[in-house]
Structures are given as structure tokens and as C-alpha cells.
Chains A and B, each alone.
Chain A
Amino acid sequence: MTAYNRGNYIAESIESVLASSYSDFELIIMDDCSTDNTLNIARSYALKDRRIKVFKNEKNIGDYPNRNKAASFASGKYLKYVDSDDCILPDGLKNMIESMEQFPGAGFGISSSFIEPPKKYPVELNSREAYTYHYFNKPVFFASPSEVIFTKDAFNKMKGFGEKRMVSDFDMWHKIALQYSMVLMSPGLMNIRKHPDTEMADQNRFVLQYETIKLNYLSGINSPLDRIQVSTIKKQRRNTAFKIFLKKLFLLQFKEAIPRLKVFLFYLRN
């Protein structure tokens, strides 16, 4: 559980973890030099439950570097991030562990927030199936680290997250799915909080970064999708971007229109 100035929410998040039916866990709380009372709240819980360990960085190192640092202290077989403003359902951890244990070769599992028609979970997807699922079915690669569980081995093999803000999780799922199969777990095991202090990213700034990542993996040597699928995806992105661009223009929402235009031009160039 990485945290930066989450004093408002971290107590609830910690309690959701402590309420897990699966009790064989260690909760590592990494405070990235908060200026509010996040650290002391974490400490007061650690006093009462010896599964909790609290660490604080000497200086703020940023979200993904902090996640990697937290992972370096982890000693379990599985690694699961629960963000300090999210909650895990009481049976969430048990469900995730059981899902992963069913597929020993898998490297990670996603419990997405997309509501699917009743389906048999968990399901194992190889690289090709995982990419196909994201690009042609439900975009599960937009899951946040809070909705994912790793095997420690797979996480270490990936050498953790990249350092880029915002997009490093999206990049990670693409990368890890190339080498390991993915488990599609029951959706909705996490309660992702929407709150006013989220790094409600100016998504517009990162739009091109997302598209660049897509292109790297889709068109790269190891791409699990064939040329026809890739060009279908590119065409789809290009056309959707243009349509939305026009729509936003029409609604006079210029600020939202511009990133769409950028995406459209991106797929013209590439």
C-alpha cells in the first residue's frame, strides 16, 4: 500500500485489508513522505496488527518508484497493491489467491471493474488471447495496479514498473502479458474510490503516451497479434478519434477536442 497524503482515506483502506477472510498476508505501507498525518495513522494500525509494516521514504520518490520500493520488501508468493484510497472486498483476497493458484503458470491476474455478463471466472488467457480481449472485447489493460495481483516471480522478472507517471501500469500489463499468461478474475473485487484528491490526470497530456505504448507493443517484434488485427485496431482508433473530435467540436468543447485531434493525426502518421 503506497501512500502520499492519503490521511483522509487510508484508515478505511487498511481496515478493508484487515477484514480479509484470507489472513495469511503481510501489509507493507510505504509512505512517500506525506505532509499530512498519513504516517501516524498507518503506525497506529501497525501497533495493533503485526502483519502490518510501516516504512517512510526520506524524500518523495514518486508513485511508481515507490511501488517498486514497496515490492522490494515483500516476501510473499503473490504481490498485490491495494491503493491507500481504495478498498478490497472481504473475500477479494481469497478469491484472487484461489484464482491464481488454479493457474500456476500465470504471471498476473486482473479483476477489472467492467461488468460482464455472468461468465465462468477465473479464466486463463495466453498473450494472444489477452491482447485480443483488451483490443476487441473489454479494455482490461486500463486496470490500475489496485485491480491486479502478481506472482512475485513475474513481477521481479519484469523488474517492476517503469518510472513514467500515469502510464507505467498500462505499459506493464502489455509487457507482462507477452511473457506470462494472464488470469481474468471475477470482476469487482476491489472498490476503487473516486474522490476529489485523485491524481485526476489531465488525461489529455498523456493521450499520446498511451497510443505510443499501444503501437510499440502491437507493432513490435513480439506482438501476439497479427498484421491484420493490428491494422484493424489502428484504423478503429483513427476513425473513433476523428468522430469524437468532430463531436466535441460541435459541442464547442474545444479543450476535449484537441487531444482527439492529436490521436487522429498520430494514427495518420503511423
Chain B
Amino acid sequence: MNNPVLVTIGIPNYNYAHYILETLNSVTNQTYPNIEIIVVDDVSTDNSVTVINEWINNYKGPAKIRFIKNHTNGGLTKVCNQILENANGKYFQTLDADDIILPDKIERQVKLLEESSNTSLIYSNINVINESGDIIDDNYLGRIHYDKDDMPEGNIFEKLFDFNFIPLPSVLINTEYARAVGGFDQTLQVQDYYLWLKLSEKYLVKYLTGVTALYREHSVSMSNSSLTNPRSADSVLEIKYRYFKKANGRIKNIIRKNIYFSSAYLYRSNYSTAGKWLKRNLLINPGFKSAVYFTANKLGIPCSFLDKIKIGMKSFIS
């Protein structure tokens, strides 16, 4: 390859001193020759900074390394935007400080991106690894009912709008295009999904078959995950709702359906934003059930009570 374009790999770090060296080494082990690494430490309380500094001092390779130490903790999205602001590469990716990219990822993805025009993003399949680095899932896309050899590419906005199937560690993004659509949105919980949607709305997306990155799973405690799902349902709803006004008919219908079912789910889960979504649902999906749910929620009646009434009525009629 003559004159390989610069690629930026940004690594947000928060208290991953015990993983980050493996991550850094996976970047310096890339077969691609022109890489810039930006590590951003978000005020870690472990010895991350020491560990990273020592690694940088010992590094003798060709990659350009930059180390940004934040003074106040900004959070992941803010750090991702820092990386985007500071990236000099034509392409960039954010890599979690406990994930790993495989040696030929950047080379293969840059090759495809350079051959394509108007393409903002390329993604691939991933494997999941545990804390010790053993592969515990080699069928990530298959498990969520996608065909790893036939993933959506090109104009994928509608398919992506239905469900986020893009594995974050596998991604490589056109820096200029990401800036053009406004980068990562700091008001959202699920910030990468919104960026993918903004990009796929205006540009094309490519899929590279095969595994290019390893995602490290952490055991999720049950108390967390039961709140997580209504929370992420609420986030995803927020993202989709932003498209409602200017969406075409098909997308509008997807949003309507999503809001119809998700508002009921949030109501059922007693989630704090249920009221907001039930109101929006009533405006977007006017009808008997929407009105009943909205009114009942306003009056403080729990969803389970409505179910009991419905069961009672059904047995009365029959």
C-alpha cells in the first residue's frame, strides 16, 4: 500500500489498568502501518495513569501515541467526543480499554473503505471473551438471529432503525463524516446507536465478513439488569422519536409501533418516563387502548390493575 492514510484509534479509559495493556498491544500489533493512538484517562482512581505512562515510555514502534489525562470526569460520551475532536486520522474508532482488536482489522477495513465512495462506516462480527481472555461466544450475530455472512450493507438506515445490530468494537468510521453529523450525542444513554443512525441516513455502510474484534463481557449483576432494560428501552425510544417528524411513511410506522408497545412496557415496568411516553403514544396512536393507558397512568393506577379489570370483563362477557 503506498501512502496509507492515517487511522486514529481512541481508547477511553476508566479504571481498567488491568486490561488496558492488552488493548494497547492489540493496536500496536496491527498489520496496518499508519496508526495514531489517543488514550484518554477519565480521572481513574486506580494506577491506570502510571501503567499507561510506563507503557508509552517503553514503546519503540512507529505508531504515534497521545495521552490525554482529564482533570474532571466527563463520562464515556464526552470522552468519545474528545477523541473525535482530537483525531487526525481519516478513519477512527473508539475502543474500550478492555476490548481487543485482531491484527488485520484495520488493514482489511481501510482497504474496503478506500475502495468505496460515500461510505461512512464499516463493521464486522465479534467474539465475546471473558475476564481471562477465553472466547465464550463465537456466534454473536447468529444468537441475535442475524446471518453473519449476509449482514445489511449499503443503505441500511431502515434496517438499523428496526434494531441496532452493529457491534461497537468492530467499527471503523470516517472521521469527517462523523464530525459532519455532529459526533456523539451527550444527552443520550445509548450514544453510539444515534451516531450510526445519523451516519446511515446520509451515507452508506459496509460490512466486512468475519470477526475483527473481541468484546470482553463482564458479569452483570441481576439488580442492575432489571433496571437496564427499561432504561435502554427508554433511550432507544428517545432516539427513534427524534426522527418522527421528518421520517417517511415506513419509518413513521416503525416509530408508531415502537412507541405503542414500548410505552406499555415502560408503564408495566413502572419506569419513571412511562407517563411521558404514554402521552406521546396517545397523540401518535390515538385510540381506545392508548387513551385508557394514558388516563390510568395519570390517575396513578398500576398496569397490573388494568389487566385484572380486563380479565374480569372477559369472563363476564363469556
Contacts and interface: CB of A to CB of B under 8 A. Distances in A.
Nearest to A256: B318
Main secondary structure of the interface of B (DSSP, over half): helix
Interface in A101-155: none
A9 to B, nearest CB: 8
Interface in B214-236: 217, 220, 222, 225-226, 228-229, 232-233
- Sorting the interface of chain B by its residue count into under 10, 10 to 19, 20 to 34 or 35 or more gives 20 to 34
A246 interface: no
Nearest to B162: A40
A195 B307 contact: yes
A70 to B, nearest CB: 13
B225 A54 contact: no
A50 interface: yes
A8 B265 contact: yes
Contacts of B229: 11, 15, 44-45
Given A18-B222, A50-B217, A56 B143 contact: no
A36 interface: yes
Main secondary structure of the interface of A (DSSP, over half): mixed
Interface in A38-82: 39-41, 43-50, 52-56
B96 to A, nearest CB: 15
Contacts of B318: 202, 255
Contact of A196 (B145, B269, B314): B314
A259 interface: no
Nearest to B315: A200
A19 B144 contact: no
Closest 8 A/B residue pairs (Cβ): A196-B310, A50-B137, A43-B144, A37-B261, A54-B145, A46-B144, A7-B261, A53-B143
Interface of B: 128, 136-137, 139-140, 142-145, 162-163, 217, 220, 222, 225-226, 228-229, 232-233, 257-258, 261-262, 264-265, 268-269, 307, 310-311, 314, 318
Interface of A: 7-8, 11-12, 15, 18-19, 36-37, 39-41, 43-50, 52-56, 194-196, 200, 202, 255
27 contacts: A8-B264, A8-B265, A8-B268, A11-B229, A12-B268, A15-B226, A15-B229, A18-B222, A36-B261, A37-B257, A37-B262, A39-B145, A40-B163, A43-B145, A44-B233, A48-B220, A48-B228, A50-B128, A50-B217, A53-B139, A53-B142, A54-B143, A54-B144, A194-B311, A196-B310, A196-B314, A200-B314
